[in-house]
Chains A and B, each alone.
Chain A
């Protein structure tokens, strides 16, 4: 499969970036992603089901994440849940987005828009 440059996807939509962060530590199902995002943002961001799965659909197509064939958690009783994992390409895209954001932050400091750290 052809792999586009990660830069071609930038800037990443906020929801996509949050999902990538949530999947960085472990494979998760949708509800778990939503809770992780909510926990990390102190409840400020609560992804709705539509936003979440619309993003997941697009991220699957773009190759940022993949769906796992089996549940990674053998103890899980709920077989209906579908799990997602970050791909290498997803990791590269996230890194590229971080670079982009870092660059922006540096510019903001350098221009005196925001007092430097």
Chain B
């Protein structure tokens, strides 16, 4: 008997429907076989019988489950096809919700968490430079070192024992003009790397060979190209190996192709080619970055190491620092002043895990992306609430059907399974469409990031984590919106429901659930709307922040005279001559130039002494400065509060003068008249400090040069021809135009070309174009937030409309009686609206709380607008109420038009 009971238990492995239908038969058959086997008395027969039963459970039962699921899916598809409107709305809102989630997740995951593609054991990689830094920094540093010099790298490479290998790469991606034999000049993006670059990353070539350590020790006029570039530029021809091209003063030969998908060591960049670091003197003529010559170091490299097995990051850091410090002591050994030497030696390296490689976009976007992740999560919640509501309403309509099936013996679990299958099928369709939508959204987002971070390139990739996320989102949303309505729809007393048939009846409980879902949707929409509003205000404020000078009709350009072989003296002449040429271009009202320009990313600051000011500590004597050409202030239209601006007459022979800004005057001169006082600029070279005094001849209004968010800092403008530090190396031209600025640009380019065709033009843009990257990240975040806010609003409106329409339909007879008894249409509308106002009010109250939390969370992203800005919050709430009222007005109006006799006759 125990055997039979056990077999009965085994039957539970089959789907309920199958068990209900055949369980008894199977049991009978098994009992008879068991009896037979007992009668033979051979244990082997019984064992064979149990073996077959076990086989059934393992092989047949799962097949039967699949069969039931397929049946449910077929049933679902048929029932969805019968209600295309419902299916379309459901799939569309899920597409939006799931698609946005996948896109933002992929970006978030890719940007912040993904490892470098194709690199072997990325978890063993460590970086000794700051992943977010890029560029070239000539001079000295203190504190944590951002980038390294070639000499420093070589010392580390040759002495460090914590790493199995080390390599260096140029921190910024260069934009180069190349010329292949028989072709015109063309642009390509590339970077210089040390010989150990490819071996350290564990990369094998797709074709040809890659660099090796040996390429660091001899001249190596070679290039390795990327797979994409090979396909794009050379149509994948094997003949590419051995082809040569000219790059500035170098002639380089292609020796290999990197494997497909390899992007190198910097995330978000997609170089076309890599060239050997040894070629730097020919590639960047006039700027030797391979040798540190006292007093200057050229810091421009990222350094990566592969940790030996078992070596901890901290140990590697300590060892690297010991080597680094020894190098510094040797380099700065000749510095006379012990105080200065101590300052110069106060530098250290920081070792960080580098599986994700370097990336500047990562730091910029991490906060925004986390906020957007939360926003898309909320959006999906709203979409799910909406679907739950639609399904609840459908559940009410299908109640008689459910009751009938229950009374015919279907188990409740079976019905719930059917309904949940419906939700899963919907969610799966939403996820499939969502994946397509995600690709689109992702491409748009990546494009937007590229606006702010030139050279940014990232492809949509479904890595295992993203796939897991997609599945999790799909299943959890299906359960979120499907389970509750399924529970409600089947929680029904069969006879009562059957009696109700024909009337659109629903229990109070179900109504309450639907209504609270709508309130929840409204509550969730409010923070999205409010944050979108706050971010939009931030962008507006940033785009309209007072620069201190008009931003219209200003064109800027810069030339790289050093690369073209100019020394300091010739450069100075070139700058002046070019100024005259540009001035004569029609449409140019005025022109000037400065060392750092505007919004170029270059900034200078030094220690200085202000006459009569006692510093309140060591860091209290700094000021930003720039060398400016004559008429700088009048060209830019920066008003002078007192005194005069820097003029043509302030040349090298004239007394040294300067113009300070308001912030400078207020901080260092207090209430005193600044005119005639002196500012002594301190130049800190290895040899020691050297002071140069400048007399203040004017005070200018505060103006912005590189930042939109920071408050104005002290700034001093020095004449271009009276430098206090090493000679001026570059000039950024600032050109005021009389009308359309963009129209002048071609003429400006022409003027430069005519001056010297070999002069590389670093950029030629209007100020507004130049500033676009400065607001790009805020703009992207705000645009995405606004789109999400509007989507949330639309979804919430659909939900509200659906529930109200249903509510009105349910109360048709009641309303009909009221109208028959003399109620006016206006009264009916008011009644319905009153009913709704509770929902909206509850939604706004809860939403207010959520908004408070959310806006504080994004406070650091905001500019010139308080997280609780009453205007934005009121506007968000008003929009929400207006849309809510719009969504309920139609059903209310319809209710007021109920024809009493017709409605009552239907009862």
Contact = CB atoms under 8 A, between A and B. Distances in A.
A53 B32 contact: no
B654 to A, nearest CB: 102
A54 interface: yes
Given A46-B52, A48-B53, A81 B63 contact: no
Nearest to B25: A30
A51 interface: yes
A81 B48 CA distance: 24
Contacts of A48: 52-53, 55-56, 60
SS class, residues of chain B in contact with chain A: helix
B21 A57 contact: yes
B29 A52 contact: yes
Contacts of B53: 48-50
A57 B26 CA distance: 12
A2 to B, nearest CB: 15
A53 B22 contact: yes
B562 to A, nearest CB: 80
A57 B65 CA distance: 13
Interface string A54-71: 101100000000000000
B64 interface: yes
B176 interface: no
A44 interface: no
A30 B53 CA distance: 16
Contacts of B25: 29-30, 49, 53, 80-82
Interface in A69-117: 80-82
B28 A31 contact: yes
Interface string A33-49: 01000000000001011
B26 A50 contact: yes
Nearest to A51: B60
B28 A81 contact: yes
Given A53-B25, A56-B22, A82-B25, A31 B52 contact: no
B61 interface: yes
Contacts of A54: 18, 60, 63-64
A49 B28 CA distance: 9
Given A49-B26, A52-B29, A80-B28, A57 B56 contact: no
A49 B63 contact: no
B28 A50 contact: no
B462 interface: no
B30 interface: yes
B57 interface: yes
A31 B26 contact: no
Interface string B36-71: 000000000000100011011101110110010000
Contacts of A82: 25
Nearest to A47: B52
SS class, residues of chain A in contact with chain B: helix
A29 B25 CA distance: 9
Contact of B18 (A30, A34, A52, A57): A57
B26 A53 contact: yes
B174 to A, nearest CB: 65
Among A30, A48, A80, A81, the most chain B Cβ lie within 10 Å of the Cβ of: A48
Contact of A31 (B22, B32, B55, B64): B32
B5 to A, nearest CB: 16
A49 B48 CA distance: 13
B24 interface: yes
Contact of A34 (B29, B57, B64): B29
A54 B59 CA distance: 11
Contacts of B60: 48, 50-51, 54
A50 B29 contact: no
A82 B22 CA distance: 9
Contacts of A34: 29, 33
A49 B18 contact: no
A31 B14 CA distance: 19
Nearest to A53: B22
A55 to B, nearest CB: 9
Among A31, A49, A56, A57, the most chain B Cβ lie within 10 Å of the Cβ of: A49
A49 B56 contact: yes
Contacts of A46: 48, 52
A89 B30 CA distance: 30
A48 B61 CA distance: 12
Among A30, A50, A57, A81, the most chain B Cβ lie within 10 Å of the Cβ of: A50
Nearest to B56: A50
B61 A50 contact: yes
B106 to A, nearest CB: 43
A54 B63 CA distance: 9
Contacts of B14: 50
Contacts of A49: 25-26, 29-30, 33, 52-53, 56
Contacts of B52: 46, 48-50
Interface string B1-33: 000000000000010001001101110111011
A30 B56 contact: no
Contacts of B28: 30-31, 80-81
Contacts of A51: 56, 60
Contacts of B33: 31, 34, 49
Interface string B175-217: 0000000000000000000000000000000000000000000
Contact of B57 (A29, A50, A56): A50
A48 B50 CA distance: 10
A46 B484 CA distance: 46
Contacts of B24: 80
Given A48-B55, A51-B56, A31 B18 contact: no
Among B28, B30, B48, B57, the most chain A Cβ lie within 10 Å of the Cβ of: B28
A29 B22 CA distance: 12
B55 A57 contact: no
Contacts of B55: 48, 50
Contacts of A57: 18, 21-22, 64, 67
Contacts of B61: 50
Given A46-B52, A48-B55, A31 B29 contact: yes
Interface in B738-776: none
A49 B27 CA distance: 8
A88 to B, nearest CB: 24
Nearest to A33: B29
Contacts of A53: 18, 22, 25-26
Nearest to A60: B21
B57 to A, nearest CB: 7
Nearest to B58: A50
A80 B26 CA distance: 11
Contacts of A80: 24-25, 28
Among B18, B25, B56, the most chain A Cβ lie within 10 Å of the Cβ of: B25
A30 B57 contact: no
A49 B21 CA distance: 13
Contacts of B56: 48-51
A56 B21 CA distance: 11
Contacts of A31: 28-29, 32-33
Contacts of A29: 25
A17 B458 CA distance: 58
A68 to B, nearest CB: 13
A30 B64 contact: no
A52 B26 CA distance: 9
B502 to A, nearest CB: 31
Nearest to A52: B29
A48 B53 CA distance: 7
Top 8 closest pairs, chain A to chain B, by CB: A50-B56, A48-B52, A50-B60, A49-B26, A53-B22, A31-B29, A49-B29, A54-B60
10 contacts: A31-B28, A31-B32, A48-B53, A49-B29, A49-B53, A50-B26, A50-B52, A51-B56, A52-B29, A57-B64
Interface of A: 29-31, 34, 46, 48-54, 56-57, 80-82
Interface of B: 14, 18, 21-22, 24-26, 28-30, 32-33, 48, 52-53, 55-57, 59-61, 63-64, 67
Given A54-B64, A80-B24, A81-B25, 4 more contacts: A30-B28, A31-B33, A54-B63, A57-B22
